[in-house]
């Protein structure tokens, strides 16, 4: 008991230090005065509440190996990164962006896109943003995952948190190129997660800025919040999902702890495989403990 108390305190202190450190890196790092690339921009204001920010401005053009991913301090604490050579930094009109490859005929994150997770501390409320672009010729086929949040990394692949152990909420593309959220939570209807549509279809060549806000429910009450905003090519964000009836967890569980950067085609069989070699570009990852200032 005594030892447990001490390690718990140490963990809390470590978490606090991690938050302070990354906030300091963000304030001094990404918007440096000596950074000449004006395309690397952030317009949101969230004060010191940013706990993660990565626009790849300090990364070299070329392969972004799993070693590079783990060494990129802008992620904070990387839990794992497995892209197997399918990630690279590209220069898009002076903006450094992360591009992932989805080889023809492949499915699953072992063989398309990749799988990375970042530990972000433990939060009752969190706001996540990323900008994505499906490159021209992208083969959508059926469905695929993009990025998301969760409590731990267990709740996916038919592993249902039926006892209220936690959740995952991921952006996906669904059938017919529908933009959607993919939710694992204790009240999910399907063994393989609930799909919540965003109300539009993804087009290739468009920059989509996607934001989700997750606020954990209280106790075992169905009052957890999931809000999603979307914007295209820098237009003002539109609220496209507004739920306040979710249970992300019970008994103090269901807090947000992880960010997933794990885009892949699938599904679990070859009917999900990319029909042509495809590319998805990701940029401007931001996670904040408060709602971004530009959200309606």
Residue whose C-alpha is closest to residue 37's, from 96, 97, 98, 99: 96
Letters for 248-277 (x = contact with Ca ion by CB under 5 A, - = none) are ------------------------------
Considering beta carbons, is residue 11 or 71 the nearer one to Ca ion? 71
Quick one: which of 95, 174, 207, 257 contacts Ca ion (CB under 5 A)?
95
Question: Contact region for Ca ion (CB under 5 A) — 22-30, 87-95, 214-222, 246-254?
Answer: 87-95
Listed in sequence order, the DSSP H helices in the chain are 2-29, 66-71
Strand bridging mode 178-184 / 194-201:
antiparallel
C-alpha 206/C-alpha 185 separation (Å) is 31
Q: Specify the long-range contacts of residues 81-85, CB closer than 8 Å, at least 24 apart.
A: 81/114, 81/115, 81/116, 82/109, 82/110, 82/114, 82/115, 82/116, 83/113, 83/114, 83/115, 83/116, 84/110, 84/114
Residue 208 CB, shortest distance to Ca ion, in Å, is 15
Quick one: which of 19, 51, 53, 55 contacts Ca ion (CB under 5 A)?
55
> Does the footprint of Ca ion cover residue 58 (CB under 5 A)?
yes
> Does the footprint of Ca ion cover residue 26 (CB under 5 A)?
no
Question: Contact region for Ca ion (CB under 5 A) — 20-28, 48-56, 99-107, 177-185?
Answer: 48-56
Considering beta carbons, is residue 99 or 247 the nearer one to Ca ion? 99
161 token code pair: 């948190």
Quick one: which of 65, 70, 72, 253 contacts Ca ion (CB under 5 A)?
72
Question: Contact region for Ca ion (CB under 5 A) — 58-66, 232-240, 244-252, 264-272?
Answer: 58-66
> Does the footprint of Ca ion cover residue 96 (CB under 5 A)?
yes
Radius of gyration of the chain (CA): 18
Residue 191 CB, shortest distance to Ca ion, in Å, is 38
> Does the footprint of Ca ion cover residue 30 (CB under 5 A)?
no
DSSP secondary-structure letter at 118? Answer: E
Q: How many CB atoms lie within 10 A of CB 147?
A: 21
> Does the footprint of Ca ion cover residue 88 (CB under 5 A)?
no
Point out which residues bind Ca ion (CB under 5 A).
55-56, 58, 72, 74, 95-96, 283
């Amino acid at each position: 008991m005594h030892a447990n108390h001490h390690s718990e305190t140490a963990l809390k202190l470590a978490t606090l230090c991690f938050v302070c450190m990354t906030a300091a890196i963000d304030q001094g790092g990404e918007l440096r005065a000596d950074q000449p690339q004006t395309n690397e921009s952030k317009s949101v204001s969230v004060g010191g509440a940013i706990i993660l920010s990565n626009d790849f401005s300090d990364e070299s053009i070329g392969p972004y190996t799993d070693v590079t991913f783990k060494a990129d301090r802008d992620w904070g604490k990387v839990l794992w990164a497995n892209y197997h050579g399918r990630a690279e930094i590209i220069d898009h009109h002076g903006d450094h962006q992360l591009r992932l490859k989805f080889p023809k005929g492949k499915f699953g994150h072992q063989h398309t896109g990749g799988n990375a997770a970042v530990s972000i501390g433990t939060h009752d409320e969190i706001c996540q943003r990323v900008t994505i672009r499906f490159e021209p010729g992208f083969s959508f086929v059926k469905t695929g995952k993009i990025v998301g949040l969760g409590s731990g990394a267990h709740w996916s692949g038919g592993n249902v948190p039926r006892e209220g152990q936690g959740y995952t909420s991921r952006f996906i593309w669904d059938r017919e190129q529908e933009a959607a959220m993919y939710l694992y939570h204790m009240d999910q209807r399907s063994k393989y997660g609930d799909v919540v549509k965003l109300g539009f279809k993804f087009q290739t060549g468009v920059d989509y800025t996607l934001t989700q806000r997750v606020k954990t429910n209280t106790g075992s009450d169905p009052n957890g919040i999931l809000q999603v905003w979307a914007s295209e090519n820098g237009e003002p964000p539109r609220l496209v999902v507004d739920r306040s009836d979710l249970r992300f967890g019970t008994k103090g569980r269901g807090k947000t702890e992880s960010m997933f950067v794990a885009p892949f085609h699938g599904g679990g069989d070859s009917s999900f495989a990319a029909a042509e070699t495809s590319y998805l570009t990701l940029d401007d990852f931001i996670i904040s403990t408060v709602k971004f200032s530009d959200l309606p």
